[in-house]
Structure 1
Amino acid sequence: MGMGGTPKRKKTTAADLPEELIRREILTRLPVRSLVRFKSVSKSWLSLFSEPRFINQHLTHSTTQNHNDCLVATRNTKVVILSRYEEIVALDSAHILDVVGSVRGLVCLTGRNMLSLWNPATHQSKETFAEARFADRAYDIGFGFDPVSDNYKLVILSEDLRFAMVYHSNSDNWIEISAPDNVFDNIRGAYSTSSVTIVKDCPYWAFCRYTKDRHMMATAVKFDAGRNEFKLLPEFVCEHRVRGSKFVDMNDCLTSVVYVYDNDPFSKRMLSLFSLDGDEGCCVWSKMYTIGPFNGWFVVVQGFSGGEIVFDDRGKFCCYDRKTDKINYMLLNTSSATTSDWRISCFRYTPSLAFIQGMKSVFYSTTRTRRASVQYSRVPQGLYNGLKY
C-alpha cells in the first residue's frame, strides 16, 4: 500500500503484454535492421521473422511509412539506395552491374548470364543462371511477384518476341511460355524506350515509334505475374512534338513522362506526365500535369509514392517536389558520372525481411575514411564468381 492507503500500480512489462499484440503492433513497426539483430533473442522470434505472414505484415506497415519510401538505382559499378534526401552505397563492385528490378524488398541484379535475387536489408542472396542465349539482355528482363503462390518470377523475352523464359522462385526452375501473336505483333519494328518498369509487382515493357513530325506513339506490354501471361495495353499518342519519353511508376500507376520541346534544341524543357488509369480491359491514358520549364539537361528516373519526381541531372540525383516547386539534390552523392544516362535502372524499393529458399548470407567489406567507418555489402558471392569468367 502507498501513502494514504492508495495501492501501488504494478508496472506493465513486455512479459505481461499479449504475444499477439507484441507481434502485430510492436515488432511489425520496427526497422529491418533491428529485427535482424533480434533474431538471436529466442528461437521463437527467429522462427517468427521467417514466417510469410509476419514478413507480409511488416512489409505492409513499412510501405505506409514515409522514411521507408526509397529507390534503388545503378551508378556505374555501384548500386545505391536513394531516399528523398540522400544517396547511400548499398553495393560496390569492380564490375558493371545492372539492376533488373525491385519487388517487395528483393533486388534482382544481373551480370553476364547470372542473375541474383538479393535482399540489401538482410544481406542475403540467391543466384540462378539464365541460358547463354539470353546473356547481356538486362533490358529484356522483367521481375515480378505472385502474391497467391508467394512466388517471385523473372521473365526474359526472346529476341523475336515469340516466347519467354520464366523463373519461379518456389521451384527454382525456368519454364518456357509462348507469347501470343496478338500481343506483340503490333509492336514489331518499334523500339524499347527504357528499362522495364515495375508497377504493383508486375513488369511492363514500353515500346514506341515516332511520326515524321516527331509525334510519339507508345505501347506497353504487361506481364501478369499471377496468371503467367502477357497483356497488350492501350496505345498512348502524344499530340505534342517530343524529344523523348520515359515510363515510370508514379503512385502505383504506369506513367509516361514526355519531354516536350520546340524548334530550339537549347530551349528550356517541359515535362508532361500521363498515367494509365482504370481497370484491366478498360484502362485509358489521361494527362496528369505539365511541369517546367527547366534549365539544362536531365533524365527522369523514377517517382516516389508521394508524387515527387527523381531526376538524374548530369550524374547527380535530385528530387523535384511539385507542391513546393523546388528541386533538392540528394546528399552524400557517391557518383562519379558526369552525364545523364537515358537507360539508367531505377526502381521503387522498400526494405523488408523477404526471403526465398536457398538464400545465403553475402560477404562484407569495411571501408574506413578519416571521418567515419562505412560498412556495405559486396557483390553477392555467387554473382561475383559468375562475373569473373
Structure 2
Amino acid sequence: MATQNSRKPDSVPFVNLPREIITEILLRLPVKSLLKFRCVSKSWLSLISSPRFIKTHLEISTNNNIYSHNKIIFISASASHILYTCSFYPEIDDNPTMDIVPIYNHSSHTERVVRVVGSCNGLICLVLEPRIVVILNPATKKSRKLPVSVKSNRLTMDYGFGYDESNNDYKVVEISWTHFISDKYENQVKVYSSKTKSWRIIDGTAGFIVHGCGVFANGAIHWKVQYPDGNPTDWFIIAYNVTTDRYKMVAKPQFETGLLNSLLVVSAGRLCVSCKYFTHADIWVMKEYEVEESWTKLVRVPNYLDLKSQINTTPFFVLENGGVLLKNGFSIVMYRPLNECIEINTKGFVLHVSTYTESLVFPDFGHEDGS
C-alpha cells in the first residue's frame, strides 16, 4: 500500500490547485525557477514550454518596472570568449553571484574576439569575429549559430538585432562598407530573417559610416551615422524598420554646443541619446517616437563621480526613474540622481557589456532543438 511519502508529484496539494492559479503563480517566477519546475510533472513541463506561456511570461517580465528580471551580461578581459551575467542591484548583495554562460561550441572559438550586438526578448546577438553570428539565451544557456552571410570584400562591418512582432520574425542586420578613393564609401546591407532562415541584400542609405552596433527601440534598429566628408560633430540617426524593411531618418535632440561625443542607448523600449560634454553627460529620451518635440532630458550625469577611476565613463542602459548603468573604464557602476553611485562587483576587468531581460524564448526562434 502506498505511503504518504510515496505520493506522486501530481498529488501534492499545491499541484492540485486550479490550473489558472498555478499558471498565474508560475508566470511571475524567475526563469531559473521555471527551468527546475519543468521536472515537477508532465503537465508543468507542457505548460512552461508552451509558446503562449513563454510569450506571456516575457510580457510580464518586460513590464516589470523594478527590473527584477533584468540582468547585466559582459565579457571579461581575462577570458574574452566567456560571458558572465549578474544582477542590476549591487546593494542587495556585496558579492553577487555571477553565472558563466557558454557560447555556441565555445571550445572551438576561444581565440575569436566576441562582440555583443544587443538583446531582444531575452535573446543576445553575438558576433564572433570574423562574421560568425550566434543567438544566445543566457538564462536557458541555449544557443544557435546562424549561417554565414555571402562573402564580401568590404572591410568594416557593424550589426543590429531586432524583432518584428507582427510577423514573429527576428532579424539580424549586417552593414558593411568599403573605403574607395576620394573619401567615397560604398555600403551594403544584409538582413537575416528567422522566418526564411537566410540572408538577403536590401537597399540602404549609401555613403555613411556606422558608429557601433544598432539599438533596437520602437520596432526599429537605430544607428548613429555620419558622412565621411562631413564635420565630426555633424552626425544623425538612421532607423531600419524591421517590419517594412525600410530606412528612415530620426531627428536627434537639440543638444548644447560643446558636444564631445554622443551615444545611442535605450530606456524601457524607448530611444535615448547620451550627449557628453567636459563636465557632464545629458541623457535624452524620445517620449513619442518620431516626434522631434518629444525629446526630453531625462537625467544629467556629472563626469566627476565618486569613483576609483574616471576612465571613459559611458552609459549603456537607462532606467525609467533616471538611474543609469555606466561602464567606467573596465568596471560597471550604477548611477542614481543626487550623485549616488554604486560599483557593481564583477570580480575582474570588463571589456564589453549589455543588458537583457530573462526569458524562456528559444534561440532557434520557436523550437527547442537548438544546440
TM-score exceeds 0.5: yes
Name 1:372's counterpart in structure 2. Answer: none
Letter in 1 for 2:67: N
Report how many aligned residue pairs link the two structures: 327
Following TM superposition, by how much is the alpha carbon of 1:142 offset from its aligned partner in structure 2, in angstroms?
A: 0.8
Matches for 1:1-389 after TM superposition, within 5 Å: 13-23=13-23, 25-63=24-62, 64=64, 65-76=66-77, 77=80, 78-82=82-86, 83-85=88-90, 86=96, 88-91=98-101, 94-95=110-111, 96-111=113-128, 112-131=130-149, 133=151, 140-159=158-177, 162-179=187-204, 184=205, 188-189=207-208, 191-200=209-218, 202-208=220-226, 216-236=233-253, 238-261=255-278, 269-280=279-290, 284-294=294-304, 296-306=310-320, 307-322=322-337, 324-331=338-345, 333-336=346-349, 345-355=352-362, 356-357=365-366, 360=369
Tell me how far apart the structure 1 counterparts of residues 50 and 35 of structure 2 sit (CA, whole Å): 14
Following TM superposition, by how much is the alpha carbon of 1:177 offset from its aligned partner in structure 2, in angstroms?
A: 1.9
Query: Which structure would you say has the larger Rg?
Result: 1
Q: Residue 68 of structure 1 contacts residue 351 of structure 1 at CA under 8 Å; is this kept in 2?
A: yes
Tell me how far apart the structure 2 counterparts of residues 175 and 201 of structure 1 sit (CA, whole Å): 20
Q: Residue 75 of structure 2 contacts residue 83 of structure 2 at CA under 8 Å; is this kept in 1?
A: yes
Q: Residue 217 of structure 1 contacts residue 237 of structure 1 at CA under 8 Å; is this kept in 2?
A: no
Name 2:180's counterpart in structure 1. Answer: none
Q: Residue 262 of structure 2 contacts residue 273 of structure 2 at CA under 8 Å; is this kept in 1?
A: yes
Tell me how far apart the structure 2 counterparts of residues 130 and 229 of structure 1 sit (CA, whole Å): 23
Letter in 2 for 1:129: P
Q: Residue 160 of structure 2 contacts residue 221 of structure 2 at CA under 8 Å; is this kept in 1?
A: yes
Quote the sequence identity (%): 23
Q: 1:300 to 1:87 in 2, by over 3 A?
A: farther
Q: Residue 69 of structure 1 contacts residue 304 of structure 1 at CA under 8 Å; is this kept in 2?
A: no
Tell me how far apart the structure 1 counterparts of residues 292 and 41 of structure 2 sit (CA, whole Å): 51
Q: Residue 103 of structure 1 contacts residue 349 of structure 1 at CA under 8 Å; is this kept in 2?
A: yes
Q: 1:284 to 1:210 in 2, by over 3 A?
A: farther
Q: Which has the higher contact order (CA 8 A, sep 6+)?
A: 1
Structure 2 residue ranges without an equivalent (≥5): 1-11, 91-95, 178-184
Structure 1 residue ranges without an equivalent (≥5): 1-11, 262-268, 338-343, 363-389
Following TM superposition, by how much is the alpha carbon of 1:208 offset from its aligned partner in structure 2, in angstroms?
A: 4.3
Q: Residue 215 of structure 1 contacts residue 241 of structure 1 at CA under 8 Å; is this kept in 2?
A: no
**So what's the TM-score if we normalise by structure 1?**
0.74
Letter in 1 for 2:34: L
Q: 1:345 to 1:202 in 2, by over 3 A?
A: farther
Query: CA RMSD, aligned part only?
Result: 3.1
What secondary structure is seen at the aligned counterpart in 1 of 2:259?
A: strand
Hey, which bits of structure 1, 4+ residues long, moved more than 6 A?
135-138, 209-212
Show CA shifts across 1:156-197 (max 9, x none). 124256542211223322232222xxxx35xx45x4343322
Name 1:266's counterpart in structure 2. Answer: none
Letter in 2 for 1:81: T
Tell me how far apart the structure 2 counterparts of residues 309 and 137 of structure 1 sit (CA, whole Å): 34
Q: 1:26 to 1:253 in 2, by over 3 A?
A: same
Following TM superposition, by how much is the alpha carbon of 1:302 offset from its aligned partner in structure 2, in angstroms?
A: 1.3
Q: 1:357 to 1:278 in 2, by over 3 A?
A: closer
**So what's the TM-score if we normalise by structure 2?**
0.77
Tell me how far apart the structure 2 counterparts of residues 15 and 108 of structure 1 sit (CA, whole Å): 37
